[in-house]
Amino acid sequence: MAEIRDATAHMTLGAIRKRDEDNLDLILKVSKEHSFPSTMAALYFMGAVQNKILLKFGIDQVQMFKDSGLTAEAVKTAVTQPMDLFHVNVPVSDPGVKALIDKIDKMMADKDLKSERRQYQHPRDTWKSGVYLYHQNEIAYFISEPYQRKGGHYATPHIIVPTFGNVYYVMTNFKG
């Protein structure tokens, strides 16, 4: 089992929040934006990135689902969106799926990994919505929720570049 370090053990909640926001700012500086023609394509990308992140830590959840012996219907019922294979906010009623998710959670805990899906409603904070993967209580990876630009984006402070069509974006710091 990996040694579990907790850098937040002696910090206040305000200090933890400030540290998380600082870490997210650092992550966003090295993040890349990916574009997709639909929200479904963006969600599939999110799921693929999440699976690659777990593979990096030696957890092959896709293969675990395939090898589980669960019926395709049981998995399909539990996994309602492409990204939910990562089991972030998955409502689980099938005991076999629940056991498999618990096994993945234990493997993640053994590697000192934790995932969290955050959704911010305030317009000022929606850019922070997405999946956060923590390693040793530090934000290691961020995958944004799919988003659209309204009316274009700024190429410089003085030039607005128009965005044409239905384009959805996902931002992540994962390279691979």
Helix (H, G, I), strand (E, B) or coil at 18: helix
Number of separate helices (H) and strands (E) present in the chain: 5, 7
Domain range holding 133?
Answer: 13-172
The domain tally of the chain equals 1
Q: In this structure, is residue 44 part of a structural domain? A: yes
| Per-residue model confidence as pLDDT tens digits over 2-21 | 555 666 666 787 777 787 77
Q: Say if 1 falls within a structural domain.
A: no
With respect to residue 29, please indicate whether it lies within any of the assigned structural domains: yes
Asked whether residue 3 is domain-assigned, the answer is no
CB 62 within 8 A of CB 83: no
Residue 26 lies in a domain: yes
Most confident of 9-23, 36-50, 155-169: 36-50
Cβ-based neighbours of 54, under 8 Å, separated by 6 or more:
60, 61, 86, 108, 113
Single pTM value for the model? 0.75
Q: Is residue 39 in a domain?
A: yes
Q: Would 152 be classed as within a structural domain? A: yes
Contact between 104 and 62 under an 8 Å Cβ cutoff? The reply is no
Residue 4 resides in a domain: no
